[in-house]
Copies of this chain bind each other. A is one copy, B any other.
Amino acid sequence: MYTIGQVAAMFDLPVSTIRYYDKAGLLPDIQRVSGIRQFSDNELEALRVIECLKKSGLEIKAIKQFMDWNQAGNETFGQRKTLFEKQMVAVEAEIASLEKVRAMLRYKQWYCTEAIKAGNEETVVAMVPDQMPTDIKQAYERSHI
């Protein structure tokens, strides 16, 4: 059993954020002893799932919905599974999108490096896209389609 302060340190979250999650219904099973929250393994796993679902793009109220399904028991495993599948698709799309962003940054980095070398931009502009190194050309194409 942990206090809110200990959990805040573990997850590197402000105490106020954890209270906010609790108030939003994201920690439905949490016990209290004379008003003070007692965090068990159950709550630690809940916080892990909250962070995961949040990063996958879900908003707080959708996470609350998920917690309601958790509370409801065996009947809702289908819905929970569907949610995880949906968020999996979202996360893979997000990763793909960030890989495109990475390609653009790679191209832009090269561009700046060349402009610094040349002392001007025109020389570099003249190299785009046919006189670019192969890897940069690929990055350029990935980010400009």
Residues of A within 8 A of B (CB): 48-49, 52, 55-56, 74, 77-78, 80-81, 84-85, 87-88, 91-92, 94-95, 97-99, 101-102, 104-106, 108-109, 112-113, 115-116, 119-121, 143-144
Chain B residues near A88: list those with CB within 8 A.
102, 105-106, 109
Chain B residues near A77: list those with CB within 8 A.
112, 115-116
B109, A55: Cβ atoms under 8 Å?
A: no
Select one of B80, B101, B112 contacting A112, CB under 8 A: B80
- Least distance between A103 CB and chain B CB atoms (Å): 9
A108, B49: Cβ atoms under 8 Å?
A: yes
Chain B residues near A52: list those with CB within 8 A.
101, 104-105, 108, 143
Select one of B81, B97, B121 contacting A55, CB under 8 A: B97
Complex Cα–Cα for A49 and B140 (A): 12
- Least distance between A80 CB and chain B CB atoms (Å): 5
B91, A101: Cβ atoms under 8 Å?
A: yes
- Shortest beta-carbon contacts, A-B, top 10: A81-B112, A52-B104, A84-B109, A88-B105, A55-B101, A77-B115, A84-B108, A77-B116, A77-B112, A84-B105
Select one of B48, B92, B120, B121 contacting A144, CB under 8 A: B48
Complex Cα–Cα for A106 and B52 (A): 11
Residue of B nearest to A79 (CB): B112
Chain B residues near A78: list those with CB within 8 A.
112, 116
